Amino acid sequence: FLVSKGNRRHFMEKEIHEQPEVISHTLANYLDFSKGTIRANVTPIDFAKVDRIAASACGTAYYAGLIGKYWFEQIARLPVDIDVASEFRYREMPLSKDSLALFVSQSGETADTLASLRYCKQQGLTISSVVNVRESTMARESDAIFPTLAGPEVGVASTKAFTCQLSVLASLAVVAGKMRGTISDEDERRLVHELSEIPRYATQALKLEQQMEAISRDLSQVKHALYLGRGTSFPLALEGALKLKEISYIHAEGYAAGELKHGPIALIDESMPVIVIAPYDRWFEKTVSNMQEVAARGGKIILITDERGAAASTLKTMHTVILPDMPEIITPIVYAVPIQMLAYYTAVFMGTDVDQPRNLAKSVTVE
Ligand code: AGP
C-alpha cells in the first residue's frame, strides 16, 4: 500500500505532526478514559506473578524501554533489566522463569531484538512485545503483544513510533501497578487522567515549531552538541542526540546530567551547544546546577523546560523553549516533540536527505 506525505515536505515532518492523533488511538487501546481506569483484559500477563522484567531493544526503541524502566520501577515496584539487544543476546544473563521478557520494536523484524526474543523463549520465559507492525515476526512469536497504533512509519528516523511505545509502556506500568497493588484506585484514576492529556499537550508542543526552526538555524552551524537530562529526561537526551546524529550528521551525545562532572564537562567551551531537557520536576534544581557548570565555561545552553522551570531559573541561556506545566509522568512523551523538531529542522537547514539518511535502513534485519 502507498502512504503519502500529504502536504508535508518529508514523511518525518508528517509523522511528527501525527503524534497527538496516533498517541490518542494507542492510549485508548489500554485505558478507558470515560471510566478513568485501565481497560479490563488488556493483557493475559499477571504482573503480580512477575518478579522482574528482562527487556531489550535497539536504537530508539531501546531508549523507549529505558524510560519504561523508570515507570515500571516507580509505579509498579517491578525491577527492569534493560539492555541493547545486540548485547543481551550474547550476555548469557541469568534469567528466572518468573521474569517477563519484554521487547520493543517498531518493525518487529530487527535481527538482534528477534534473536533476543528467541533466546528468552528457549530459556522458558513468557514473551511479550511492544510492536507497531501487527503481522511482524516478533508479534507472531510473542505470548502477549502490546500494539502501538502509530500506523506506518516511513521516515527512517523514528518519531511517532517512539512516543506511541512510550504511551504503551506508561499504560502498562499503571496496569502492572494495579495488579501488584502498588497503586490505589485513586492513583489509577489520576494516572489515567494524566495520560489522557498527552495528545492535548503534544498539540501544544507542536505549536513551538517556528521557535524550534529558529533554534535549528543556529544548531545547523555547529559540529558537536551535547544533550543532558535527569530521570526520564535522561533517556530522552540519548534519543535527542541519536535523532540529531541520524539525520543532520552532527555529532551529538546524550548524558545523564549528573555525569557531566565525570567527563563530558571537558568538552564544554564557547562553541559547544548544550541542550538541557529540564521540566520542573523533582530533579530540576539538580539539573540547574549542572547548567550553571556549563554556563560558567561559556557553553551555549538551549533549555527545554516548562513555565515553572523558566520562572525558577535565572541563568542566561541562548534559547529557552517553554512548554506548559504538565504532570511528571507525561513529560518524556511531550518533550519528545520539540526534540524531534530540533533534529528535523537542523537536518532541513543542512540539506540532508531527512527521510532516507545515508548509511541507514528503516529496519535492520541483518546482524
Ligand atoms: C530510530 O530513529 C532508528 N532509525 C533506529 O534506532 C531504530 O529505532 C532501531 O533500528 C530499532 O528498530 P525497530 O524499532 O524496528 O526494532
**Residue to mutate, 58, 113, 114, 169, ligand 1, most ligand atoms under 8 Å from C-beta:** 58
Name the residue with the closest Cα to ligand 1, atom 5: 59
Name the pairing type of β-strands 273-277 and 251-256. unpaired
- For residue 1, the model assigns a pLDDT of 59
- For residue 222, the model assigns a pLDDT of 97
Taking the complete model, does pTM exceed 0.95, yes or no? yes
Alpha-carbon torsion angle 82, 86, 91, 94, nearest 10: 40
The answer to whether the CB of 154 is under 6 A from ligand 1 is no
- For residue 314, the model assigns a pLDDT of 87
pLDDT tens for each residue of 6-45: 899 999 999 999 999 999 999 999 999 999 999 988 999 9
| Residues forming beta bridges with residue 55, ordered by sequence position | 82, 102
Name the residue with the closest Cα to ligand 1, atom 7: 59
Ranges of the chain whose pLDDT falls below 70: 1
The answer to whether the CB of 150 is under 6 A from ligand 1 is no
The answer to whether the CB of 363 is under 6 A from ligand 1 is yes
**Residue to mutate, 102, 353, 364, ligand 1, most ligand atoms under 8 Å from C-beta:** 364
Active site residue 121: no
pLDDT tens for each residue of 255-301: 999 999 999 999 999 999 999 999 999 999 999 999 999 999 999 99
The answer to whether the CB of 364 is under 6 A from ligand 1 is yes
From CA 217, how far away is CA 148, in angstroms rounded? 33
The answer to whether the CB of 107 is under 6 A from ligand 1 is yes
